[in-house]
Structure formats: structure tokens, C-alpha cells
């Protein structure tokens, strides 16, 4: 399927039972033929896959996508504690459904708080 930019919007989670369109992630990734993040493409790509966290009242936080076969997909944010190889990272789980508008992704913050994000755009 090739490289895309997925826009995720907070659908629900601790403190946000109704979600928040102002809390978003933009994630660049390659998708396989089934529409799932492609681990082989990530490993072969010499360039990091960009990620950005957007929240009201703060500057967007830049990061990159990481993949670990035993633990799955995560985002490392620059200048954050997660830069340490031993620190937990922001994990994201796409589930069985492809990454496409209307589907959901679970984002788990380093403190263990899990949030549901809805995919609103894939371009």
C-alpha cells in the first residue's frame, strides 16, 4: 500500500470520556497490502518514520515510530524521558482492522494510561 500519514484524534480515555478533537497524533508509516503497519518496510527504511503529538496549549512534540517484534509499535518523543533505551515509550496498537478512517487505535502512555484514538484521515 505504501507510505501514508495517519491522523488520529482522541476518541476516549481517562479524563476524556467524550474524546477531544484537539488531542491528535500524526504518524507517518508504510502499510502492507492489508492496511496494517509494515514491520519489514520499517526495518528496511533508512529514514525514521515521523510522529507528532498535538495537544492544546503546548507546542507539537516531534518523535519517531519504533518497532520491536516482541513488543510491537511505539513512538519515541525527542527530549522526553522515553529517549532512554530503558524508559517506556508511547505504545500504539492498531488491532486486527486496517489503518483507515473510522477505525480505532489504542495509544498507551508511558504511565500506563490507555486512550482510544479514531483514525480520521489516511493520506
Residues 5-36 have pLDDT tens digits of 999 999 999 999 999 999 999 999 999 999 99
**What residues pair up with 61 in beta bridges, in sequence order?**
53
Residue-wise pLDDT tens digits, 50-86:
999 999 999 999 999 999 999 999 999 876 554 455 5
What pLDDT, on the 0 to 100 scale, is given for residue 78? 76
Global confidence as pTM = 0.88
In order, the DSSP letters of the chain are -EEEEEEEEEEEBTTBTT-EEEEEEEEEEEE-TTSSB-HHHHHH-SSPPEEEEE-TTSPPEEEEEEEETTTEEEEEETTSGGGSTTS--EEEE--SS-S-TT-EEEEE-TTS-EEEEEEEEE-
Q: Which residues contact 72 (CB under 8 A, 6 or more apart)?
A: 91, 93
Nearest to 28 by CA among 84, 75, 68: 75
For the chain, the domains span 2-122
Amino acid at each position: 500500500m505504501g507510505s501514508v500519514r495517519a491522523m488520529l484524534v482522541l476518541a476516549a480515555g481517562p479524563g476524556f470520556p467524550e474524546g477531544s478533537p484537539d488531542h491528535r497524533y500524526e504518524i507517518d508509516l508504510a502499510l502492507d497490502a492489508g492496511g496494517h503497519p509494515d514491520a519489514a518496510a520499517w526495518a528496511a527504511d533508512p529514514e525514521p518514520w515521523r510522529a507528532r503529538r498535538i495537544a492544546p496549549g503546548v507546542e507539537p512534540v516531534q518523535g519517531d515510530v519504533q518497532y520491536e517484534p516482541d513488543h510491537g509499535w511505539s513512538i519515541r518523543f525527542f527530549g522526553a524521558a522515553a529517549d532512554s533505551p530503558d524508559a517506556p515509550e508511547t505504545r500504539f496498537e492498531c488491532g486486527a482492522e486496517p489503518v483507515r478512517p473510522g477505525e480505532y487505535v489504542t495509544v498507551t502512555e508511558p504511565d500506563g494510561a490507555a486512550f482510544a484514538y479514531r483514525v480520521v484521515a489516511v493520506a
